[in-house]
């Protein structure tokens, strides 16, 4: 495939949940298409989202129930009405009032209409989808059905014959839960159909879709339930070590993510089949991908499971070179970006550069005391992705306002004065840099402060909920952004 990362482009970071929507969460309906139109009209060529998976109750897209399945809450019901599979007079009197519960019920009703009204072509597309995705879809649909039956408890708390995947018990459950299983497969079919239609529209308008792959998966996921040998678990399926990162810029006690670590010995013996499957499903959906915590391909921070913080861990080596060689052999040149933030060693840099993967530079991290700071623009190389900030950072305006007067002076001294206000000044620096790809969070484009940040690492309350509104995107803001994109040849 073409090297999509070799051209100068500008991009925006905005998750699907952050699209305008009167129901409290963005979806794949008309506002997603309107957002593509905004990107096209402004000259922005890349739309980066966060992972699209099915989150747990905390809403984090980095802790999902499946490495493959899409979040059915992103499905737009108006599009189903246009297809004739959902009618306006359908409602549910038994659901709870939340839109998530209501949507789940309405999708089940849409399947009833689909079964009776869909064309032969439509039904064949559904059948083909179930066949093509069976490698993960069958297990996922059964897993979610059982999870509903056991009141959302983690799989390690299920009855033993289900926890241990007794073949007879699973066969009986598949028969007993066949209706719910079919609904879950239908949800994935509709999600995939709507996402791929959006992708076609974006690509037709010269916009690339940029996805994010968390390096680790959630313990409470179908991936771990089905593939216990892939992960470092004891004979009873429990974790003795969990993933995270040591103390850093974001947290004095580190971050204890709690994800299971990979059993790399087994993965090597299986020729990385699990990773091949995972990458294939994401390459089908996105033009560009980012590996979150790329550092874990060289070595990962292992924390004893009984530790409450990430302080007392250790680095354990991983066969990243062999894995990347295997994936390149399977897929060819992969448009892959390495999230190489945090404690990065020469070995991690060597692994990234050997496979010519762009690294990330965050301008919020640039303005220390040293001219050798790798995040300062004069130290960039073209094969780089520069961000003003990420979903884990404060907004640029919030970040700048939190600096001391001396720190603000140092920023302005480097950037050549304060005649341009923040965050426009930092956006211009990102776009002017030699980095091939420059990504700006939507909050920075809209000149928003700390109250509108997406996530505060190490916390679980109040994250992942930010949405923008179209009235915030005024014509002068869009025109100014378009002009600076053209000015710097993106």
| For residue 94, pLDDT beyond 60 | no
Dump pLDDT digits (tens) for 55-80.
Answer: 999 999 999 999 999 999 999 999 99
% of the chain residues with pLDDT over 90: 88
Dump pLDDT digits (tens) for 367-426.
Answer: 988 999 999 999 999 999 999 999 999 999 999 999 999 999 999 999 988 889 999 999
CA-CA distance, 259 to 313, in Å (whole number)? 14
CA-CA distance, 405 to 18, in Å (whole number)? 33
> Which of 139, 187, 339, 340 is the catalytic position?
339
CA-CA distance, 271 to 255, in Å (whole number)? 31
187 is annotated as an active-site residue: no
**Cβ-proximal residues to 141 (8 Å cutoff; 6+ apart), any chain:** 181, 182, 184, 185, 188
Tokens 């390096």 correspond to what residue?
215
Sheet of strand 288-292, all strands in order from the earlier edge strand to the far edge: 336-338, 288-292, 208-214, 46-48, 9-13, 437-441, 384-387, 359-362
Dump pLDDT digits (tens) for 186-215.
Answer: 999 999 999 999 999 999 999 999 999 999
| For residue 93, pLDDT beyond 70 | no
Q: What is the DSSP string of 169-228?
A: HHHHHHHHTHHHHHHHHHHHHHHHHHHHHHHHHHHHTT-EEEEEEESS--SSSHHHHH-G
Query: How many other β-carbons are positioned within 10 Å of the β-carbon of residue 422?
Result: 23
112 is annotated as an active-site residue: no
58-62, 249-253, 328-332, 384-388: segment of lowest average pLDDT:
249-253
Task: Give Cα separations from 360 to 25, 182, 239 (angstroms).
Answer: 29, 41, 31
242-251, 330-339, 465-474: segment of lowest average pLDDT:
242-251
Task: Give Cα separations from 459 to 14, 79, 255, 312 (angstroms).
Answer: 20, 36, 10, 20
With CA atoms as reference, report the closest residue to 9 among 446, 470, 431. Answer: 431
* Predicted TM-score of the model (pTM): 0.95
With CA atoms as reference, report the closest residue to 437 among 374, 369, 361, 355. Answer: 361
Q: What is the pLDDT of residue 1?
A: 45
86-95, 163-172, 372-381, 385-394: segment of lowest average pLDDT:
86-95
Task: Give Cα separations from 145 to 82, 149, 180, 445 (angstroms).
Answer: 28, 6, 6, 41
Higher-confidence position of 222 and 249: 222
With CA atoms as reference, report the closest residue to 313 among 325, 322, 303, 324. Answer: 303
Q: What is the pLDDT of residue 91?
A: 59
Tokens 């094969």 correspond to what residue?
383
> Which of 287, 292, 340, 452 is the catalytic position?
292
Residue range 420-437: mean pLDDT, rounded:
96
392 is annotated as an active-site residue: yes
DSSP 3-state assignment of 300? strand
With CA atoms as reference, report the closest residue to 407 among 367, 454, 377, 355. Answer: 367
Q: What is the pLDDT of residue 101?
A: 53
The residue extents of the domains of the chain are 1-48+381-490, 71-195
List phi, psi (to 5°) of 93.
-90, -10
Torsion region of 32: left, alpha or beta (phi above 0 gives left; psi -120 to 50 gives alpha) = alpha
Dump pLDDT digits (tens) for 11-29.
Answer: 999 999 999 998 889 999 9
Confidence bin at 100 (pLDDT 50/70/90): very low
C-beta separation of 16 from 49 below 8 A: yes
């Amino acid at each position: 495939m073409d090297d999509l990362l070799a051209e100068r482009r500008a991009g925006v970071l905005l998750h699907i949940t952050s699209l305008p929507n009167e129901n409290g969460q963005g979806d794949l309906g008309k506002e997603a298409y309107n957002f593509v139109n905004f990107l096209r009209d402004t000259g922005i060529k890349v739309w980066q989202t966060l992972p699209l998976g099915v989150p747990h109750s905390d809403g984090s897209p980095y802790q999902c129930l499946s490495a493959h399945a899409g979040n059915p809450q992103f499905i737009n019901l108006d599009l189903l009405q246009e297809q004739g599979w959902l009618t306006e007079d359908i409602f549910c009197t038994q659901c709870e009032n939340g839109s998530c519960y209501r949507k789940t019920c309405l999708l089940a009703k849409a399947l009833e209409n689909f079964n009776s009204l869909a064309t032969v072509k439509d039904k064949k597309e559904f059948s083909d989808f179930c066949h093509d995705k069976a490698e993960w879809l069958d297990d996922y649909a059964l897993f979610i059905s059982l999870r509903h039956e056991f009141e959302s408890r983690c799989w390690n708390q299920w009855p033993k014959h289900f926890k241990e995947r007794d073949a007879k018990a699973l066969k009986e459950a598949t028969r007993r839960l066949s209706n719910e299983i079919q609904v879950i497969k239908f949800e994935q079919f509709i999600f995939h159909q709507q996402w791929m239609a959006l992708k076609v529209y974006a690509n037709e308008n010269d916009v690339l879709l940029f996805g994010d792959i968390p390096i680790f998966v959630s313990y409470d996921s179908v991936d771990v339930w089905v593939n216990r040998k892939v992960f470092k678990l004891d004979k009873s399926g429990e974790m003795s070590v969990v993933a995270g990162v040591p103390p850093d810029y974001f947290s004095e006690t580190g971050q204890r993510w709690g994800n299971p670590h990979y059993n790399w010995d087994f993965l090597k013996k299986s020729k990385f089949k699990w990773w091949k499957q995972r990458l294939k499903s994401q390459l089908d959906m996105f033009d560009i991908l980012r590996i979150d915590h790329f550092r874990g391909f060289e070595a990962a921070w292992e924390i004893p499971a009984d530790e409450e913080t990430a302080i007392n861990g250790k680095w354990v080596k991983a066969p990243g070179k062999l894995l990347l060689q295997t994936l390149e052999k399977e897929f060819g040149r992969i448009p892959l970006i390495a999230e190489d933030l945090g404690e990065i060693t020469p070995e991690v840099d060597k692994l990234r550069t050997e496979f010519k993967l762009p690294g990330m530079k965050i301008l919020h991290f640039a303005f220390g005391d040293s001219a050798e700071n790798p995040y300062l623009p004069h130290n960039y190389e073209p094969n780089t992705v520069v961000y003003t900030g990420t979903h884990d950072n404060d907004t640029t305006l919030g970040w700048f306002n939190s600096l001391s007067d001396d720190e603000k002076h140092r920023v302005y001294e480097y950037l050549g004065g304060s005649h341009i206000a923040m965050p426009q000044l930092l956006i211009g620096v990102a776009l002017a840099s030699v980095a091939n790809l420059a990504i700006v969070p939507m909050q920075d484009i809209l000149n928003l402060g700390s109250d509108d940040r997406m996530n505060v690492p190490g916390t679980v309350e109040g994250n992942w909920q930010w949405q923008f509104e179209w009235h915030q995107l005024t014509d002068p803001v869009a025109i100014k952004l378009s002009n600076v994109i053209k000015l710097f040849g993106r």
